[in-house]
Chain A
Amino acid sequence: MEAVQVQTRDVLDVSGLVRRFGDLTAVDGVSFQIRAGETYGLLGPNGAGKTTIISMVAGLIPADEGTVRVAGRDMTPAETDAKRAIGLVPQELAIYPDLTARENLKFFGRLQGLAGKDLTRRTNEVLELIGLSDRAGDQTKKYSGGMKRRLNIGIGLLHRPTLLILDEPTVGVDPQSRNSILESVERLSVEGMAVLYTTHYMEEAERLCDRIAIIDEGRIQAEGTRDELITLTGGVDRINLRGGGSTARAADALRGLPAVQHVDNDGAGLMLTVSDGPTALAGIVTGAGAAGMSVTSVEIVRPDLESVFLHLTGKALRD
């Protein structure tokens, strides 16, 4: 009885998803579930496979293996009914620049089966929600980047989907618009909508997501709440050393220190994973200097998702 209840609460159930492009396995055995009112994040660098996962979840491309169930229905490109449950907000601005915001909303609303007064009312509600009522009659090519992003999200909300899929919705927007978008997503979650959110911005995942899957090379490396993921690092700290000189020699030297677990050299400095950073700091700075690196700044970062990613994959999230 309890198992049945859990199953009906899952708005999205992804199981063993695999997608190959020639010899490349872009998605390799991905499984996760999202419940109503939950915001679930896919956190990973560009090329990790996030958009491919979303394309399969949205029924745009078929999976080679595995299943996707949305609101209890199998999702494949041919299953058009299952698509009524999702609202897709793609990474690119999928709007017509030569139509107005109202015309764009009405067009996509018609595709979702809305019509007549219902379509008009819902269009007005969404315009109000995304703050574009005053500019609803302007062609969207005259909009700022942030306004276009808001409309892009509004189209996904138009038919009140059960599951909203947001693929990197803040890419290329100014900080003010970005904050506005994040606040909107927070509100949706409170209203009970399930949200699948992909990003490579750690701060967004930490702020928005109830649960996060860290994804790299097409696989989920770890999954859980923020706090659960942090514990995976074993409580290690990160120390960033900035400066010039021989960073490569310094990296080799520091790898030999007992407290240092990992050293990443990005050319402009070193990023170290260490146990008990404050205690190890003096030895690290001295060691780097002795190896020929002129240290200009030092930063100790307590564990965060960046640290988790580094810990799990051996590389920085921005890579």
Chain B
Amino acid sequence: MSAVAAIAFVELRRFLRDKSNLFFVFVFPLVLILLLGSQFGAGSGQAKVAIAGPGSALAQALTAELESAGIEVTATGADAAQADLSRGRTDVGLFLDDADARAYDAGEPAQLDVVMAPQSSGQAVLQQVRTAVQAVGLDRSQLAALTGAGVPDAQAGAALAQAAAQVAVPTVQVVDTDDVVQDFQGLGKFDLGASQQLLLFVFLSSLTGAATLIQARRFGVIGRVMSAPVSSGQVVAGQALGRFAIAFVQGGFIMVGTALLFGVDWGTLWLSALVLVLFCAVSAAAAMMVGAVMDNDTAASGVGVGGGLVLGGLGGCMVPPEFFPATLAAVSYATPHRWAYDALADIQRHGGTLADILPQLGVLAGMAAGLLLLGAWLLRRSLGRAL
């Protein structure tokens, strides 16, 4: 193992050995992504409706009608339907009881209880449910009118089916034309939160990891390392690689973990990984600067958390930047987070290609190069303080 790799490896090992880091690196991000996705995540793309109540002709008719409209229907109990609604597992709940079933069988009006989930897709699915209910009601009232006029049930049903085949049935297609909604088209429930938390935690972990660099200087280890047959350039390169390894372990874990646990779609994987690599390089360089400039590891951790949260918030890691006012949106481009966010959004939501995200990659590469040079210069200067 070369001196550069040895220094980088020991930095990563020390970072991972810190028990508090283990929680904040491996547990906390996934918990946050789960919570955010459950509360605010977009639908998976297919509308879901839960029909609660006893099995009945009404339930069967509604199920058939909704399924014919491409909606996934689940027959369940009232409590389970409410739980699914509150957790965002279904978009709309239809609550039927015996009175509803009897009224339907008798061809009489029935009033159905409908509950919409809070997520953004609920409104559109509710509209589809209304259409389906109206269609089922119309069919039933037509049948009731024929049988009421003395037509036998079988003949009435056949006549209605024949009539239905001869006319073009109007269909309802719900299209949300809101720009913001269009921006989030194609996102799974946890996709947005995962990409936001990926960027937030990579930068946060890198900055807080700068404490190990300061400790190495404070413990006198840097001085001892410099007495070994190792050049100052190798020490700087080892520290830079160590910062990068910390960032990449954090980012890689979130990408793999969310894909496996929450089914997050990272789009074209090598492109997303490329964005991650460049963002890790920027984060590592920023960490080098913090570690080189500061001499107190506790204070550096505080600065890391504060700076990481502020930059993350500004860069769209807390509230999606699509909701930012124009001025704030412009300012957000001063952060690497915003460029990485845009690149990931393009890849995840619109199947963006390398050519599509080249501008973002270029800016990230420029930021990484500039900050790495500055960080390396500051770090080399700080070695003198260690001797």
A interface with B by C-beta (< 8 Å): 55, 58-61, 77-78, 80-81, 83-84, 86, 88, 90, 92-99, 103, 107-108, 110-113, 115, 155
Interface pair A58/B227, CB less than 8 Å apart: yes
Closest to A57 in B: B227
B interface with A by C-beta (< 8 Å): 1, 3, 6-7, 10, 13-14, 17-18, 216, 219-221, 223-232, 387
Interface pair B10/A94, CB less than 8 Å apart: no
Contacts of A80 in B (CB 8 A): 229-231
Closest to B234 in A: A80
B387 CB contact (under 8 Å) in A55, A95, A110:
A55
Minimal beta-carbon separation of A238 from chain B (angstroms):
37
A60 CB contact (under 8 Å) in B1, B6, B216, B226:
B226
Closest to A89 in B: B224
Interface pair A77/B220, CB less than 8 Å apart: no
Contacts of A61 in B (CB 8 A): 387
**When A90-B224, A111-B3 are in contact, do A95 and B229 touch as well, CB less than 8 Å?**
no
B1 CB contact (under 8 Å) in A77, A81, A92, A115:
A115
Can you list 6 A-B pairs with a CB-CB distance of less than 8 A? A81-B229, A90-B223, A98-B14, A111-B3, A111-B228, A115-B1
Contacts of A59 in B (CB 8 A): 226-227
Minimal beta-carbon separation of A168 from chain B (angstroms):
13
**When A92-B220, A99-B14 are in contact, do A107 and B229 touch as well, CB less than 8 Å?**
no
Interface pair B221/A95, CB less than 8 Å apart: yes
How many angstroms from the CA of A61 to the CA of B230 in the assembled complex? 14
Contacts of B221 in A (CB 8 A): 94-96
Closest to A60 in B: B387
Minimal beta-carbon separation of B211 from chain A (angstroms):
11
Contacts of B223 in A (CB 8 A): 60, 90, 94
How many angstroms from the CA of A60 to the CA of B1 in the assembled complex? 23
Query: Besides A90-B220, A94-B223, A111-B228, 12 other CB < 8 A contacts?
Result: A77-B226, A80-B230, A83-B227, A90-B227, A95-B219, A96-B10, A96-B221, A107-B10, A108-B228, A111-B3, A113-B229, A115-B1
How many angstroms from the CA of A304 to the CA of B240 in the assembled complex? 52
How many angstroms from the CA of A66 to the CA of B349 in the assembled complex? 67
Contacts of B14 in A (CB 8 A): 96, 98-99
**When A61-B387, A98-B18, A113-B229 are in contact, do A88 and B10 touch as well, CB less than 8 Å?**
no
How many angstroms from the CA of A92 to the CA of B13 in the assembled complex? 23
Interface pair B10/A60, CB less than 8 Å apart: no
Minimal beta-carbon separation of A78 from chain B (angstroms):
7
How many angstroms from the CA of A88 to the CA of B220 in the assembled complex? 12
How many angstroms from the CA of A95 to the CA of B1 in the assembled complex? 20
A88 CB contact (under 8 Å) in B216, B224, B230:
B224
How many angstroms from the CA of A108 to the CA of B226 in the assembled complex? 11
Contacts of B1 in A (CB 8 A): 110, 115
9 tightest A-B CB contacts, nearest first: A94-B220, A94-B224, A88-B227, A110-B6, A111-B228, A92-B220, A80-B229, A83-B229, A60-B387
**Interface residues of chain B: helix, strand, loop or mixed (majority):** helix
Minimal beta-carbon separation of A82 from chain B (angstroms):
8
Interface pair A94/B229, CB less than 8 Å apart: no
**When A97-B219, A111-B6 are in contact, do A60 and B231 touch as well, CB less than 8 Å?**
no
Contacts of B225 in A (CB 8 A): 108, 111
How many angstroms from the CA of A90 to the CA of B230 in the assembled complex? 17
How many angstroms from the CA of A61 to the CA of B385 in the assembled complex? 11
How many angstroms from the CA of A7 to the CA of B43 in the assembled complex? 82
Minimal beta-carbon separation of B41 from chain A (angstroms):
38
Interface pair A111/B230, CB less than 8 Å apart: yes
Contacts of A110 in B (CB 8 A): 1, 3, 6
**When A96-B10, A99-B10 are in contact, do A84 and B219 touch as well, CB less than 8 Å?**
no
Minimal beta-carbon separation of A56 from chain B (angstroms):
11
Minimal beta-carbon separation of B233 from chain A (angstroms):
10
Minimal beta-carbon separation of A80 from chain B (angstroms):
4
How many angstroms from the CA of A96 to the CA of B10 in the assembled complex? 10
How many angstroms from the CA of A88 to the CA of B223 in the assembled complex? 10
A103 CB contact (under 8 Å) in B13, B18, B224:
B13
**When A60-B226, A77-B232, A78-B231 are in contact, do A94 and B219 touch as well, CB less than 8 Å?**
yes
How many angstroms from the CA of A155 to the CA of B219 in the assembled complex? 15
Interface pair B17/A98, CB less than 8 Å apart: yes
Minimal beta-carbon separation of A54 from chain B (angstroms):
10
Closest to A88 in B: B227
Interface pair A93/B3, CB less than 8 Å apart: no
Closest to A110 in B: B6
Interface pair A93/B219, CB less than 8 Å apart: yes
A112 CB contact (under 8 Å) in B219, B228, B231:
B228
Interface pair B219/A107, CB less than 8 Å apart: no
Contacts of B228 in A (CB 8 A): 83, 108, 111-112
Contacts of B216 in A (CB 8 A): 96
Minimal beta-carbon separation of B347 from chain A (angstroms):
38
B229 CB contact (under 8 Å) in A55, A97, A112:
A112
Contacts of B7 in A (CB 8 A): 111
Minimal beta-carbon separation of B245 from chain A (angstroms):
15
Minimal beta-carbon separation of A9 from chain B (angstroms):
23
How many angstroms from the CA of A103 to the CA of B224 in the assembled complex? 15
How many angstroms from the CA of A97 to the CA of B225 in the assembled complex? 16
How many angstroms from the CA of A260 to the CA of B18 in the assembled complex? 63
How many angstroms from the CA of A84 to the CA of B3 in the assembled complex? 13
Minimal beta-carbon separation of B120 from chain A (angstroms):
46
Closest to A92 in B: B220
Closest to A79 in B: B229
Interface pair A107/B6, CB less than 8 Å apart: yes
Among B7, B224, B226, B231, max chain A CB count under 10 A is at: B224
Contacts of A78 in B (CB 8 A): 231
How many angstroms from the CA of A44 to the CA of B225 in the assembled complex? 27
Minimal beta-carbon separation of B243 from chain A (angstroms):
17
